[in-house]
Structure 1
Amino acid sequence: MPKLVRSPARGARLHPHRLPERHLSSDATGDGVPRWMVKAGGWSWRLLVVVAVVALLVWATAKIQLVFIAVFLALVFASVLRPFVNLMDKVMPRALATALSIFGAILVIGGMVTYVVRSVTGQWEDLSEEFTAGINELWDLAENLPFGVSITADQLREWSDTGLQWIRENQSELLDRAAEGAGSVFVTFAILALATFCTVFFLARGDEMWRWFINQLPARVRPQWIAAGGVGWYTFSGYARGTVIIALVDGVLALILLLIAGVPLAAPLAVLVFIGAFIPLVGAPAAMIVAMIVALAANGVWNAVIVGIAIALIGQFEGHVLQPLVMGKQVSLHPVVVALAVTSGTLVAGILGAVVVIPIVAVIWAVYAKLRTVDPPMQDLEEPDVLPRS
């Protein structure tokens, strides 16, 4: 005789594995919320935390911008001078090697600035006359443009009067900005002094400072920090040294080109190209435009065109030869990432943001790539066959 199965008493708890199948669903949780919404909510609050941390870091950096710039410059100086210090450290005390390296860098930079100032002072009067003649030539060209387009002298005079009127109306604001620029000179000297002070310790006792920091961490996380610090410094130092080398080569090539083309102020323009190389994407084109304007004012249209084409060729040589040869794979960022990073850095902190954002992004990506666990790569996916076969 078959056994009767009694139903559970009222209020008794059923084992979860014995619940009827109609109460279980792979698309919903116990409270009826779809699982995809639960996962989306979990990722959402995590992303909000990350955004909040990044915003806090940006805000804190803005509050101590002077210190951040000084430390960043000190790291750049240390990465460039460290090979020389390590080389001289083999034959002399490290403190003396550090002092000689910094003193030599100061002499090189000071000599470059002195040469540029003397060049500008000696050629400024001639250049101003040639520039005035070049402006008049531009006005003549504007009055006789092709395809029936022309700009009359009355229009040019009207635009000039409008510009002068704007200057008169905003004279007080312009003077305030000039005063701020004068005050920024003292800020610049303060940044350089702090950067030099930090550079001395980074070069002389950088290893001891890093070892002290690692010893303050729990033993279980020290290997990760050592690996992250090693790959981060390798990427940053490689980017800094590579950028300096590439900028120096660009400046020398630009100087040779401008001297051959007979463009006035060749040395200051070459220094401008050198400085522009530190600003990704926009620095070199801006320096090229300035050099073309000076060549146009001094030597005419065709000379400006030749200078522009030659500087564009220098840019191509930098992008296709110097960058892969000097940088290698130390800074492997996609051009789209570079463009987005430079634009974002410019919007946040102007020219300073455009300069510092690429090494920061490169270091973050290098550390992430070092610490992450990489799954096997996907094979090429074939297009799914969704149509019925005949």
Structure 2
Amino acid sequence: MNRWDESSPIRFLGGKVLLYILGVILFIGVNILVYTRISYLFTPLVVFIETVALPVILAVVAYYLLIPLISLLEKFGMRRIYSILLILSLVAGLITLLIFLLLPFLEKQFLSLAEELPQYVIQLVENVDAWFKNSIFSNYYNNMFQDVEGILSQLPNTMSTYASNTLDGITTFITTITDVIIAIVTLPFILFYLLKEGYKLPEMILRVFPPKVRPDLRHVFKGIDHQLSAYIQGQILVSVCIGIMMYIGFVIIGLDYALLLAAIASVTSVVPYLGPMIAITPALIIAIVTSPFMLVKLVIVWTIVQLLEGKFISPQIMGKSLHIHPVTIIFVLLTAGHLFGLLGIIVAIPGYAILKVVVGHLFVLFKRRYNRYALEDNQYEQSE
């Protein structure tokens, strides 16, 4: 056989391995086609995945937060099972303490804000309306306002049209609450076994694959573990720091509902870039209605916190472990949110990090094969 026939594109791209991969892709495509035709047969599987997704995700997050403490206790000679029980007991006690100390106060502030927020919004609309009517845009604004009044006059008919969907909305809300309760109840059990035997999971998965590919897969698993650990631990610490700084800043400028608004900012900061923008919205409404000077002070506090987080806190805590461009993060968040909703936004960045590790390793394998065949070609040309 001619030497160049042996170096055909199929052989260069992987030979039998490439054909195997193409066969797997074809098999997956056929399964997707079958699923779209008889999706009702897979409804129990979809329901199962939707049910276990939330507690599993929460358990994985808690696992990466607690595993460093358990590893530290093991280094001091404590058995793993006792380390797990001790850490879980401390966490349960801390959560209970926070519930009894902070939850009533946050609940009071939340109910008060929910009651007064419509008034803040109405006051904001009135202020904006008065400003536009006395500005150089008054003629355009009056014409536009007439159109708005026409739309508002049709609002009762529109509301009656959508009233029939109220029952569906209530059903969806009840289903969501049920899923959350199931997640909270099952979370401790999943977390316990994940902490106890989670380190065995990669090796159990590797046994399914041929021994030849296990070293590469082990390297991929280590990369995924590193990415998830760095992101989850770092993002939680960054969110806590943002909440503390926001609370201090809100207290200094005298903003109402400082603790509640800081808690909202801390929770939403788990979502990069988009979270802080969402968190600042209620604070902006309150500040605008309070006084223009309060708005200026709020903007200063928010700017200082974002600068500290972006220039000092995130680089020190998270470093450059993910190597993801901010524009890429925004596109990933928007796409995942459009496809999978709130859950998609939460898991978008970790999922992208995992995909990046897998694709990066596949590219390394491709370059390794390319270099090998390039070396063989050079040796063949020299022998000529």
Query: Shorter-normalised TM-score: what interval?
Result: 0.7 to 0.9
Please tell me whether residue 212 in structure 1 is matched to residue 204 in structure 2.
Answer: yes
Structure 1 position 124, deviation (Å): 4.2
Counterpart residue identity of residue 65, structure 1: E
Are the structure 2 counterparts of residues 200 and 209 from structure 1 closer, same or farther at C-alpha, using a change threshold of 3 Å?
A: same
TM superposition score normalised by structure 2: 0.74
**Pairing partner for 1:104 from 74, 81, 90:** 90
Matched residues in 2 for 1:158 and 1:112: separation?
Answer: 50
Residue in structure 2 matched with residue 252 of structure 1 by the alignment: 244
Structure 1 position 129, deviation (Å): 5.1
Q: Identity of counterpart residues, as a percentage?
A: 19
SS of 1:325's equivalent?
helix
Residue in structure 1 matched with residue 69 of structure 2 by the alignment: 84
**Pairing partner for 1:183 from 152, 157, 175:** 175
Mind listing any 5+ residue stretches in structure 2 that lack a counterpart? 3-18, 371-384
Higher mean displacement: 366-375 or 51-60: 51-60
SS of 2:314's equivalent?
helix
Structure 1 position 353, deviation (Å): 0.7
1:242, 1:327 within 8 Å by CA — same for their partners in 2?
yes
Higher mean displacement: 232-241 or 110-119: 110-119
Deviations 1:12-58 (A, max 9, x none): xxx99xxxxxxxxxxxxxxxxxxxxxxxxx9xx79975984997999
1:280, 1:355 within 8 Å by CA — same for their partners in 2?
no
Structure 1 position 246, deviation (Å): 0.7
Are the structure 2 counterparts of residues 129 and 240 from structure 1 closer, same or farther at C-alpha, using a change threshold of 3 Å?
A: closer
Matched residues in 1 for 2:223 and 2:288: separation?
Answer: 47
CA RMSD in angstroms, aligned pairs only: 3.8
Are the structure 2 counterparts of residues 106 and 173 from structure 1 closer, same or farther at C-alpha, using a change threshold of 3 Å?
A: farther
SS of 1:341's equivalent?
helix
Please tell me whether residue 132 in structure 1 is matched to residue 119 in structure 2.
Answer: yes
**Pairing partner for 2:267 from 260, 272, 275:** 275
**Pairing partner for 1:65 from 50, 68, 80:** 50
Matched residues in 1 for 2:257 and 2:93: separation?
Answer: 22
2:63, 2:194 within 8 Å by CA — same for their partners in 1?
yes
Structure 1 position 107, deviation (Å): 4.1
How many matched pairs?
A: 337
2:113, 2:257 within 8 Å by CA — same for their partners in 1?
no
Residue in structure 2 matched with residue 192 of structure 1 by the alignment: 184
Residue in structure 2 matched with residue 287 of structure 1 by the alignment: 279
Structure 1 position 174, deviation (Å): 3.0
Q: Residues 141-152 of structure 1 correspond to what in structure 2 (within 5 A)?
A: 141-145=128-132, 146-149=135-138, 150=141
Structure 1 position 84, deviation (Å): 1.0
Are the structure 2 counterparts of residues 293 and 109 from structure 1 closer, same or farther at C-alpha, using a change threshold of 3 Å?
A: farther
1:243, 1:278 within 8 Å by CA — same for their partners in 2?
yes
Matched residues in 1 for 2:325 and 2:217: separation?
Answer: 26
Matched residues in 2 for 1:190 and 1:130: separation?
Answer: 32
Q: Which has the higher helix share?
A: 2
Higher mean displacement: 96-105 or 112-121: 112-121
Higher mean displacement: 334-343 or 62-71: 62-71
Counterpart residue identity of residue 85, structure 1: I
Are the structure 2 counterparts of residues 155 and 66 from structure 1 closer, same or farther at C-alpha, using a change threshold of 3 Å?
A: same
Are the structure 2 counterparts of residues 340 and 189 from structure 1 closer, same or farther at C-alpha, using a change threshold of 3 Å?
A: same
Residue in structure 2 matched with residue 307 of structure 1 by the alignment: 298
Q: Which has the higher contact order (CA 8 A, sep 6+)?
A: 2
Residue in structure 2 matched with residue 361 of structure 1 by the alignment: 352
Counterpart residue identity of residue 308, structure 1: V
Matched residues in 1 for 2:165 and 2:175: separation?
Answer: 15
